Every structure is written in structure tokens, then in C-alpha cells.
Amino acid sequence: MSRHIVVDPITRIEGHLRIEAVIDDNNTIMDAYSSSTMFRGIETILKGRDPRDCGLLAMRICGVCTGTHYQRSIEAVENAFDITIPKNARIVRNLIQGALYVHDHVVHFYHLHALDWVDVVSALKADPKKAAAEAKKWAKVAGVEPWTDAESAFREVKERLEKFVKQGRLGIFGNGYWGNKHYKLTPEQNLVGVTHYLQALDLQRDAAKMMAIFGGKNPHPQSIVVGGVTCVQDIQNPSRIALFKTLLMKFRNFIKQAYLPDVYMAGTMYADEALDGTGAGLKSYMAYGDFRLDDTGFYNADLLFPSGIVLNGDLKNPIDFDPEKITEDVTHSWYRGDKPLHPFEGETEPEYTGFGRKENGVAYLDTKNKYSWIKAPIYDDKRVEVGPLARMIVGVSRNDKRITEYVTRFLKNGKLPLKVLFSTVGRTAARAIETEMMADVMVEWVDELAANAAAGDLSTWTEFDFDKVSRDAKGYGLAEAPRGALGHWVRIENGLVANYQAVVPSTWNASPRDREERMGAYEASLIGTKVADVNQPLEILRTIHSFDPCIACAVHIVDTKGKELGVYKVDTSCSI
């Protein structure tokens, strides 16, 4: 007899996400539904605005990847106006976005995802001396010295944990599924993970400072404008560039000496789940591509991440990406509409129809009809996954030299076959591989910026005639946020925004079924997963967290049993 379980809210994410799963007598997930219980209406707010202001408003879509939305929005307008930005602006934007990548990925692994692999309470049984040996062991696999190898450091963390437990307050570690039999690390390995968790809390400040040096502020940067950047003094001042590089080098060391070794450790201990493909899901991937490496203009430059499509895990036959083949379907989404629309023609008209049946005080999603505030994006009539794994898969399939080198080295050091990437473990590993690569290439970029400025090129902005270029134009900013493919589309008429649509990474991954009843990436990834304890759905959290969900701005509220507390009507014609 099947059982229907509800996980709501999914915690350690940005935003509000609900997962419902149908589990058979063997505790295996037979069916799954992903629902965002929130509404986002910024596209509607942007209508009628000056397109040069869109970036500052669009970045409010998210509270984490603010700078990415900011840049994509600015680039959509630049694409509409056919503007090519100067070299310094291109490099500065790469550095701001790169800093966001390394910051976001480290925070995701340690503070949002690691506790799906690391049993904090188990660390209380650890021998600090053996923990130090574990840290050395996995750093050696990565080919580096460990970030922490002092027995005293691990002993101090263990004593801090013991105080928390004795006082009956685990704080941020409370309410975990500690002791679940699907945790596989040893006590010493768990102590290594907890130690690096706490150290990463301090270090993330450095990445935030890096974004602020050229962005002006963090988390909402201010220095990107249509045509270039405004951080002129920071580019001209060698000490500012040197400060950025100093912070980068320290953060890069943590990535290589702690993050990578910890992923090797977890990947090895959970290798059985990687080898059997737990969490693989769609196995079809898409990347828009990102990080321009030269100044040949929009969508003509060489890219750090190449664009492309890989279907059904077939790495030998990558498909060229075509932006005209993107549509969004709302069959199972709380929006009006009767057919998939391209984002240039996209509509955002809410049509909330509520939940379905209620049993024992719990309301369940009306999965045969509409059940999520997220639309269902489709590429050329295919459902695809986006994110770091998609970027690595597309890069390898394209024979990209740099990506292939990093992926191959990681798998060789871990003695793992390529197929482990098609799993929850592989999704987590791909993010770590990408983080190391990003940290390394940023060193090249910051040196390139310093050399260009020292050579006398201080240009930061491309002049344009707004009245002339904004009469009738449309453009898109398509690139990669840390979580995956992010697109902003804008149509401009008589100098004002006529229509605006943003399709974010979590829209691709967290979406409900489409008009053909095909699952989104989250839903597909859960099918076939074995759950050790239905009262502790650790495995569902582990796979969903591997995508790094980002779902912001809720207006509809329910209690922990699905009971409606109140309904809030938002006037989408409001202005800021």
C-alpha cells in the first residue's frame, strides 16, 4: 500500500518549496510533485519603466544571486540597444560574478547541503587525533596540504559541540535527522565536516568583500549600468585590485584544501549511491554559456562555460543552443494561459486555484490540475536540468579543454568513473569542480584587469543615444547564475518597457509537470529513491538540496499541516 508524504517547508534553501512524494511498501519513491508556494511579480512591476532602471529593480527577484539578476537585466537592455561594453567592464563583471560563484557554492555546500551528508551528533564520538588524520588523508587525495590538520583544532570543535548538547541546545544544528542509518561518514569524518562548516562561516565574509570592491555594495551591487560599469576609481587604483586578489587567494586555498577534500571524502563514502544513479533524474541538461573571454560582443565571444544541450546522458552528441526554442507552459501552474509561450510573448497573470483534498487536517496539492507558482520551461519540447552539473556535462561533451581537464582530474583522483556524475552525489561534486576552476580562472582575470589598466586603458563605458536606440527594440540577457541558466527578456517601445520576463534556474529545475505530464528536474530526480525512514525523509532533502533551490518572495502562508492561515492579495499594478 502506497503512502503519501509531505515535506513542507523544505528548509536550508532560499524561498518556499513543498515536496510531496508517493512511497511504496519498500519505501521507494514512486511519484513526486514539486510546488513553490509563493508568487513573484517583478516582471509585472517592470512594465512601463525606463529600461535603464530594470537592473536595479530586477535584482530584487532574488536575495542571493542579486548581482546575477542585475547583470542579466542590464545585458538584456544592452543586447536590445546593440551595445558592446569595454574590456575593463567585461573583466570587472566577470570578477563580480565569479566572486558570487565561489561564495555561493561554498555556502551551499557547507551551510545548506553538507548536513545531508554529515551527522553532527555522530561527531561527538570522534577521536580528534584520528580526525586530523582523516583531514590529511583526503587532502592528499586532492593533492594538497589540509586546511586544518591540528588535533587541537578538532578537539576544540568537539568540545564546543559537547557543550551545546549538554545544555540541550544544538542551535543551528537542531532538528536534524541525526542517527538516520543513511548517514555513512565515520565519527571522525563527521568532525572534519563540522569543523570546516564553522570555518567557512568566517571565510564567506571575504567573498562578500570581493563582490563589494567592484560592485560597490553587497548583496545588492550598484556599479553595473547599461553600457559598462561605474567603478572607475577601483579600476584605476592598484591597491583595490591587489586587495581583491589577496582575498581571492585566501578563499581559493580554502576551496582547494577543505572543500575539495571534503567532497572527495563524501563522494567516496557515498559512492554506492553515485554508482547506482540515485537522484540522476532527467539526465538531459542545458547551459546558456557564460563569462565572456574576449571583447567581440554579445554571444560572439569565447566563453568559459560553453552553451549547449545534452539529451539522455549522450555526451557524444551535444546540440547547439537556440534561444528561440525556449517556451514556458502553465498547465499545472497557478497562472492563466492555454499554450506555451516564448518569453518575449510571455504573460504573468496569476490564477490561484488552491490545494486539493484535505485529510486529517493536511491539505494536499491538486496535482491533476494546477499546483505550483512556478511555470514549466521547455526547450525544443524537452524538459532539461540546469546548474553546475549541466555546465560540466555540456563542457565535457563540447570537449572544452579547461572543463574536461578539471572534471577528469577530479574523477581520476577519486578513482571514480564518469557515470557517477549522473546522480545526487555527482551534482554535488560538479559544483565543487566548478568552484575550483572558477577560483583559478579568476586569478587570471584579476591579473588581466591590472595589466590592462596599467597599460593605460581606463575605458569603462560605451556611449549610446538612448532616444535613438530605445524607440522599438528587444533583447535578452542569457547567461549562467551559480544555480544554472538564467534568462531575462525585454521588449521596449517608445523608450519604455512593454514586456519583461525572467526565467530563473529554479524555474527550470523546480517546475511542475507540463502539458504533456512530463516531470521537472526535481520531480524526476526523486523517482526510485529508497527512503530509510519515512518519518525522516533525509534522502529527499539530500537530492533536492543538491540542486541548491532558490525560490523567493512568498505571499501565501500555510501552517506545518497545510492549514491555511490567511490569503494576501497583492496588487500587481503597484509601483516602487
**What residues contact residue 218 under an 8 Å CB cut-off, 6+ apart?**
208, 209, 211, 212
Answer whether 562's CB lies under 8 Å from 363's CB.
yes
Rounded to the nearest 5°, which phi and psi values hold at 534? -65, -20
For 429, counting Cβ atoms within 10 Å of its Cβ (0-12 exposed, 13-18 middle, 19+ buried), the class is buried
> Could you give the residue ranges of the DSSP H alpha helices within 386-528?
388-397, 401-414, 424-454, 466-469, 505-510, 521-526
Q: Is 295 helix (H, G, I), strand (E, B) or coil?
A: coil
Q: What is the largest CA-CA distance in the chain?
A: 73
CA distance 447 to 440: 12
Rounded to the nearest 5°, which phi and psi values hold at 211? -65, -35
Active site residues: 14, 62, 65, 69, 483, 506, 550, 553
Q: Which DSSP state fits 123?
A: G
- The closest of 293, 291, 219 to 70, measured between CA atoms, is 219
**What residues contact residue 11 under an 8 Å CB cut-off, 6+ apart?**
none
CA distance 288 to 305: 8
Q: How many CA atoms lie within 13 A of 567 on its CB side?
A: 6
Question: Given the DSSP bridges, would you call strands 29-36 and 17-23 parallel, antiparallel or unpaired?
Answer: antiparallel
